[in-house]
Structure 1
Amino acid sequence: MNKERADELAMFGTALEIADLHPNEISLPEDHHLIVGAMRFHYLDWGGSGTPILFLHGGGLNAHTWDCVAVMLREGYRCIALDQRGHGDSEWSPVLDYRFIAHAGDIEGFIEATRLERPILVGQSMGGLNSLAYATRHSDQMRAMVIVDVSPEVSSSGAERIRAFTATPELDSPEAFLERAVKFNPLRDPAVLRRSLYYNLRQTPVGKWTFKHDQRLRSDEGMRSFSEARVRLASELSSIRCPTLVVRGALSDILTDDAAEKFARSLPDGRWVRVEKSGHNVQGDNPRALLDAMLAFFREAGIS
């Protein structure tokens, strides 16, 4: 094992220890790339067997946000985490197409290419909305869905706070990003934030550091288009027939209890749960409690 891989494994072990998670084996996933349509996508394959789970990260994040959850679930499920277009190590859209319908098409093509039979979709924030967009057309081909801290109705002030952070300009070092991240999310241990940034930063040709995701769609017009798309998505929720769990971080400034309950009631087979000691990024703030909620939901839905 080379030094970089050893360092990754050590950081992962630290993150698991902080989360009080103890998998049978601490190991890293396999990295893969494939072409869907005309774009190249990167994904993490955690292996495992049983019902497949496809994890979809939030905006400004990447597939590694699910590491602590996936390493535990792979003991009973087939776990894959995708870098969505414009994020992580997947390609950026050359025509700035980040609409829900484009993401849903990517998910459809990815599931077909990887032959995931009747998967569970687990999506947080942007990934949750993309999961919903896919499910409005394909819920009959899904076992279940978990939507983490998002709904078509979200707090505009909370969303703006996140946009401001993920639009951070180029900085001189990863340490400068870590300082900002600690202020942005004081719930998270700095060692866990440092690991997250390890996978979420890239160095520019001039030696500066910046986030990996495509920040070109931050215009006022783009935000208006996104809001309109959420309204259309809300009107289609009644077509989603698979069992769905809505998860709210108890300290989230994106999704309120009332909005989570309303969202769950708008789904033909929905329910919701609050995860304590977590904000918007539930999978990073309290992965152990998120796992407990997911496994209870899977049992209730008869999924093994």
Structure 2
Amino acid sequence: MTSSDSTIATFRGADGLSLTADEWNHPTTTDGFDSSQPSVLMLHGGGQNRFSWKKTGQVLASRGLHVVALDSRGHGDSDRSPDARYTVEALCADTRRVLEQIGRPTVLIGASMGGLTGILAAREAGPDTVTRLVLVDVVPRYEKDGSARIRDFMFSHVHGFGSLDEAADAVAAYLPHRRRPSNPEGLKKNLRHRNGRWYWHWDPAFLTAPDDDPFVRVELLEQAAIELTIPILLIRGKLSDVVSEKAVADFLEKVPGAEFVELSGAGHTAAGDDNDAFSDAVVSFVLRP
């Protein structure tokens, strides 16, 4: 197996849930694994899945790193929570379990929901377990209007699409800065076909638990970020309506050791909008002595 090849791995999360991941460079089975470097655990945003990280995972793996791109509970091929527990605390508990099973010092990379989860998991796991943290277009005090636009998009298509082209049109309208792909087949990694329609591959109950919204623990998450002593990199998409310039300044003032990179051609979905620039920033941060 080469470093660019991933395998499907299964981890045990909290509440007995089974969590699916793509894994590169497993320490005991892959030639080229660099034991001097930490592992990397990547946590996607709400409504996404592990495939959001595929290109970046390959880039990191090509440098000899052990990389895990996880499907969070209720997303992708991971188990759905039977009682719709999708709080940031529940996601953090899953992450802690996965970190234990990785069993090595690990860099956490989290986008949006995954970033907020990463803040809490890094604080709880401690600096010997989580050695660095990358936050992808998220801070605890994000813009409510931008978050509402995401949730509106997810709610408006919860009943699926009649075709892949219809789904591609919806994504293009939601992400006008990103060129619409001429072939919508790539959306199959995010959709599942049943009863004649295409549905997003996440649990609709993720959106229907207002008292357990994983994005509302502002004070808890902000305090956790302030208490972190590890290197932190905040990556913002310049076109983002979820993280404002003011919010970045506020975060950097409260967490003065954090570094900041802005991607000029990216929005909230920064890793997919400009993957080359995103991967360059991540590799530089992760591999820095």
Would the TM-score normalized by the shorter structure come out above 0.5? yes
Name whichever structure is richer in helix by fraction.
1
Counterpart of 2:110 in structure 1 is 123
CA shift, 1:194, in A, is 3.4
Is residue 2:211 matched to residue 1:222?
Answer: yes
SS in structure 1 opposite 2:120? helix
- Asked whether the 8 Å contact 1:251–1:280 carries over to 2, the reply is yes
Is residue 2:10 matched to residue 1:33?
Answer: yes
Separation in 2 of the partners of 1:120 and 1:220? Answer: 30
Separation in 1 of the partners of 2:76 and 2:215? Answer: 24
Counterpart of 1:79 in structure 2 is 67
Q: Which amino acid aligns with 1:34?
A: F
Is residue 2:34 matched to residue 1:45?
Answer: no
- Among 199, 220, 223, the residue aligned to 1:235: 223
Once superposed, what is the RMSD of the aligned Cα atoms? 2.1
- Among 173, 188, 191, the residue aligned to 1:201: 191
- Among 164, 167, 170, the residue aligned to 1:180: 170
Q: What are the residue-to-residue correspondences of 1:98-109 with 2, within 5 Å?
A: 98-109=86-97
Gap change, CA 1:82 and 1:227, over 3 Å in 2: closer
Gap change, CA 1:187 and 1:228, over 3 Å in 2: closer
- Asked whether the 8 Å contact 1:46–1:78 carries over to 2, the reply is yes
Separation in 1 of the partners of 2:216 and 2:191? Answer: 30
Q: Which amino acid aligns with 1:216?
A: A
- Asked whether the 8 Å contact 1:42–1:90 carries over to 2, the reply is yes
- Asked whether the 8 Å contact 1:64–1:196 carries over to 2, the reply is no
Counterpart of 1:161 in structure 2 is 149
SS in structure 2 opposite 1:252? coil
Is residue 2:222 matched to residue 1:244?
Answer: no
SS in structure 2 opposite 1:191? coil
Is residue 2:46 matched to residue 1:59?
Answer: yes
Separation in 2 of the partners of 1:42 and 1:207? Answer: 26
Separation in 1 of the partners of 2:101 and 2:170? Answer: 38
Q: What are the residue-to-residue correspondences of 1:111-150 with 2, within 5 Å?
A: 111-115=99-103, 117-140=104-127, 141-150=129-138
Gap change, CA 1:187 and 1:27, over 3 Å in 2: farther
- Asked whether the 8 Å contact 2:234–2:259 carries over to 1, the reply is yes
CA shift, 1:257, in A, is 1.8
CA shift, 1:75, in A, is 1.6
TM-score (norm 2): 0.88
- Asked whether the 8 Å contact 2:193–2:199 carries over to 1, the reply is yes
Aligned length: 274
Pick which of 25-34 and 80-89 moved more: 25-34
- Asked whether the 8 Å contact 2:84–2:209 carries over to 1, the reply is no
Is residue 2:66 matched to residue 1:94?
Answer: no
CA shift, 1:226, in A, is 4.1
Is residue 2:211 matched to residue 1:210?
Answer: no
CA shift, 1:59, in A, is 0.5
Gap change, CA 1:36 and 1:287, over 3 Å in 2: same
CA shift, 1:208, in A, is 1.4
Separation in 2 of the partners of 1:231 and 1:250? Answer: 25
SS in structure 1 opposite 2:122? helix
CA shift, 1:98, in A, is 0.8
Gap change, CA 1:26 and 1:277, over 3 Å in 2: farther
- Asked whether the 8 Å contact 1:149–1:255 carries over to 2, the reply is yes
State, as a whole percentage, how many aligned pairs show the same letter: 27
SS in structure 2 opposite 1:74? helix
